[in-house]
Amino acid sequence: MSELEQIKAGIAALEAQRGVLGDAVVEMAVTAMQAKLLALSSSSCVASETLPYSSLQLKQVTVLFVDAVGSTAMGSQLDPEDIQLVMDGALQRFTKVVQQFKGRVLQYAGDSLLAAFGADESHEDDPESAVRAGLAILAQASQHAQALRQEHGIAGFNVRVGINTGPVLLGGGVDAEGSIRGAAVNIAARMEQTAPPGGLRISHDTFRHVRGLFKVSEEAPLQVKGSAQPLQTYLVLSAQPRVFRVRSRGIEGVETRMVARETELEQLQDAFRNLSQQSGLVSMLVVAEAGVGKSRLLYEFEDWVETQGRPVFMLRGRADPRAQQQPYGMLRDMLTWHLQISEDDKPEAARLKIVEFARALFDDGANGHAAGEVHAHLLGQLIGFDFSDSPHLRGILEDARQIRNRAFHAAAQILRFVSTRNQAPVLLLLDDLQWVDDGSLDFINYLLQVNRDAPHLVLCLTRPSLFERRADWIAIEAVHHRIDLQALDKRASRELVNVMLQRLEQVPAALRELITGAAEGNPFYMEELVRMLIDDGAIQIEGERWQLKPDKLLAIHVPPTLTGVLQARLDSLPAAERLALQQAAVIGFVFWDQALAALDMNSLQPLEAQIRHGLVVPRPHAAFEGQREFAFKHQILHQVTYESMLRRNRREYHAKAAAWLARLNEQGAAETLGPAADHYERAGDYSNALAFFIRAAEDASARFANQAMLAYVARALPLVPEDDVLSGWRLIALRERYLLTQGDRAAHSADLSTLEQM
């Protein structure tokens, strides 16, 4: 093991013991180790803690630029060695912040750095992490500037930060490890260059991902080189306070009702009513894929509970993608939220709030007072507040298992006493458990067992991916009822789109089908598609009414917000499964096992895992005899997967898919002519593409499938070489005969004129 790896392992081991050792001890040790890690990284020209890219990658990332302001003025006051110390100290601070928020520093240049979030592994919150890192860098720069004034008498040091989200090409070139290319990088640089000193400017593409999470100031449109239209940008002022009872999704300015979830909501309501009539614990588990409606269902349920007028003690917890790295993070989250302990609170103040809360619960005399204190110290120590000086922990501080067991017991007892003291049931609302740390999952399972006779309603919401990580997490008998939310059917999807587009005077059927067809029953996908149509000007907001611009519908694409969600899902797959899914995407939204084998025999094995993950679904009937047919779960998933593959690799696989379809055609499958032509064209084999388009057009004409014939002719004509008169004549003759039957004299005459010129 290298020295770098040893230090990383040491840091990870210390972080895992934070709940036992306490923040103060861990921070002291980790800070020294991180300083050594940075020094080693700098000396070996390593920009981050991750391994170099093994190949080129095409993916969406969030790019962050930081540049120092005032370095010229410093140059007139300090010699070059001192300037190096000043800037290296600042860049080390900023690098540490980037890494803390899961970003990767790719390049250093003088007094600036370039970082990317999502370069190594995509996460749904990469844009949010980048913006939080940007704000933290501004705070670090302020501290650095203060130190410069005190130590060197130099004033004026500051930085600017710019952020943009978009597709880039990572790796390759002479500096493969730090290489990043694409227009998204140039826009991020422009965001930084135009930010005020001490400011953070983000593009609209980043804002789409983080709206509602930060206080921003909308700026005048900014002209950026290479962009036809001025770009909307925002200055980020601060992070918004974290709240639970805010709907983070939806279309701004439109009040949308919940659609097609009435049965599931009634099940939750019945559970709450039953809780009021019995003393035992009731648990509910809601499982659904991303965007299907878990959070909206929870919002509606909370809203209903608050209208019941019944006393209830409510505790909330919600995980985010960073939560798995925070031991007992959800347990801490529930307590700090209820006690209003903020990140800005001093440690002593936070500890006092925990102790006073527990003392009040157990305040039935001297013994009760002491019991509350013991419970507070145990629980506080477990979730990261330093109670290591407590006499109640003397003798067990080195025993992590005993700390955990006693703290679990303390937390369960606190919840039991909360119900007794308040004469009200306890309602635990725990969202996004797929990101929760293992320790918190263990506590939930423990609570369901030991507080079975207490009046608790424990409502857990998660994606199925939780059970890929922790298949044995929860005992089946501990869950009283499980609700699996499914995607909306076509009727409900159309109803939801009508609700979202209620401000249009009329919702055209084509627009409704465009949104529902792409989203495949996923409400979040529908919302993001509508948002994108608004952002791109296809839907224009004019007061209370909306106006549709049909000509702009042709440019519809996958919203970047959905690209981020699905890209994170792809990056979580093992390399072999991800490659197999990309190869399947080349074949099409619908694909076959033998086609996949023709591209790569090794891609067949991961199919079962992809079905299990819910990424592809088997179809009961196949278009070709003797084959198994599959389809991607969503059209958008197919598109994002396809676009994640490099163009040069796509061409290779398109050529193999075309050859496979051509072989099927030789066996009598006429319906493969058009798809084979399409694959040949995408592979860059224009000669074969033309030949198959002509055959497909002639076959369609013979079967009176005239619209298909016209489409094939239109695809084929641009591929006809100037000296290939026969191919051009065959195509135009097909179209000319159809136009003659339709009585379209002008178009018919135009085709006749073209034929005469051949």
Q: List % helix, strand, coil for the chain (3-state, nearest 5).
A: 55, 15, 30
Of residues 155 and 608, the one with the higher pLDDT is: 608
**For position 40, what pLDDT does the model report?**
47
Confidence (pTM)? 0.82
Run of H or E including 741? helix 725-742
Run of H or E including 751? helix 745-757
The CA dihedral of 57, 60, 61, 65, to the nearest 10 degrees, is: 100
What sign does the dihedral 140-146-148-154 (CA atoms) show?
Answer: positive
Confidence of residue 690 (pLDDT cuts 50, 70, 90): very high
Alpha helices in 242-328 (DSSP H): 262-277, 294-307
Region 612-619: what's the mean pLDDT?
Answer: 92
Residue 676 has pLDDT above 50, yes or no: yes
Report helix, strand or coil for 101.
coil
Region 702-730: what's the mean pLDDT?
Answer: 91
Are the CB atoms for 127 and 320 separated by under 8 Å? Answer: no
Residue 611 has pLDDT above 70, yes or no: yes
**Amino acid at site 439:** G
Residue 35 has pLDDT above 60, yes or no: no
| Residue 266 CB coordination number (10 Å) | 10
**For position 8, what pLDDT does the model report?**
57
**For position 754, what pLDDT does the model report?**
59
**For position 25, what pLDDT does the model report?**
45
**For position 740, what pLDDT does the model report?**
73
Are the CB atoms for 427 and 305 separated by under 8 Å? Answer: yes
Average pLDDT, the chain: 86
DSSP state of 220: P
Task: Give dist(CA 334, CA 586) in Å, integer.
Answer: 45
Burial category of 610 from C-beta neighbours within 10 Å (exposed 0-12, middle 13-18, buried 19 and up): buried
Highest mean pLDDT out of 32-46, 126-140, 145-159, 268-282 = 126-140
- Residue 131's contacts (CB-CB under 8 Å, 6 or more residues apart) are 163, 200, 202, 206, 210, 213, 214, 236
Of residues 165 and 722, the one with the higher pLDDT is: 165
The CA dihedral of 566, 568, 569, 575, to the nearest 10 degrees, is: 120
Residue 331 has pLDDT above 80, yes or no: yes
**For position 539, what pLDDT does the model report?**
93
What sign does the dihedral 558-560-565-567 (CA atoms) show?
Answer: positive
**Amino acid at site 20:** V
**For position 190, what pLDDT does the model report?**
95
% of the chain residues with pLDDT over 70: 85
**Amino acid at site 91:** L
Region 163-177: what's the mean pLDDT?
Answer: 84
- Residue 524's contacts (CB-CB under 8 Å, 6 or more residues apart) are 249, 290, 291, 292, 293
**For position 10, what pLDDT does the model report?**
60
At residue 383's C-alpha, the angle toward residues 93 and 377, to 5°, is 125
Are the CB atoms for 567 and 118 separated by under 8 Å? Answer: yes
Confidence of residue 696 (pLDDT cuts 50, 70, 90): very high
**For position 67, what pLDDT does the model report?**
96
pLDDT in tens, 277-326: 566 899 999 999 999 999 999 999 999 999 998 999 999 998 988 777 78
Phi and psi at 45, nearest 5°, equal: 60, 35
DSSP state of 279: S
**For position 476, what pLDDT does the model report?**
53
Residue 226 has pLDDT above 80, yes or no: no
Token look-up 């000396």 returns 43
Are the CB atoms for 179 and 173 separated by under 8 Å? Answer: yes
Residue 387 has pLDDT above 90, yes or no: yes
Report helix, strand or coil for 665.
helix
Region 645-654: what's the mean pLDDT?
Answer: 94
**Contacts for 440-445: CB closer than 8 Å, 24+ residues apart:** 440/317, 440/319, 440/328, 440/329, 440/330, 440/331, 441/470, 441/473, 441/474, 442/408, 443/328, 443/331, 443/408, 443/411, 444/474, 445/473, 445/474, 445/475, 445/478
Q: Which residues pair with 200 in a beta bridge?
A: 161
Region 130-145: what's the mean pLDDT?
Answer: 96
Are the CB atoms for 669 and 698 separated by under 8 Å? Answer: no
Are the CB atoms for 434 and 402 separated by under 8 Å? Answer: no
Of residues 105 and 326, the one with the higher pLDDT is: 105
Confidence of residue 49 (pLDDT cuts 50, 70, 90): very low
Region 622-640: what's the mean pLDDT?
Answer: 92
| Residue 655 CB coordination number (10 Å) | 19
pLDDT in tens, 472-490: 887 655 667 999 999 999 9
Region 254-282: what's the mean pLDDT?
Answer: 88
**For position 268, what pLDDT does the model report?**
96
pLDDT in tens, 63-97: 999 999 866 556 556 667 667 777 888 899 999 99
**For position 138, what pLDDT does the model report?**
97
Query: Picking from 29-33, 107-111, 442-446, 605-609, which range would have the lowest pLDDT averaged per residue?
Result: 29-33
% of the chain residues with pLDDT over 90: 63
Token duo for residue 177? 């490890």
Region 444-462: what's the mean pLDDT?
Answer: 94
Token duo for residue 182? 């694409």
**For position 54, what pLDDT does the model report?**
42
212: alpha, beta or left? (left if phi > 0; alpha if psi -120 to 50) = left
**For position 77, what pLDDT does the model report?**
64
Residue 645 has pLDDT above 80, yes or no: yes
Confidence of residue 51 (pLDDT cuts 50, 70, 90): very low
| Residue 743 CB coordination number (10 Å) | 7
**For position 154, what pLDDT does the model report?**
76
Of residues 503 and 670, the one with the higher pLDDT is: 503
**For position 48, what pLDDT does the model report?**
32
**For position 741, what pLDDT does the model report?**
75
- Residue 224's contacts (CB-CB under 8 Å, 6 or more residues apart) are 186, 187, 190, 230, 231
**For position 322, what pLDDT does the model report?**
75
Task: Give dist(CA 677, CA 671) in Å, integer.
Answer: 11
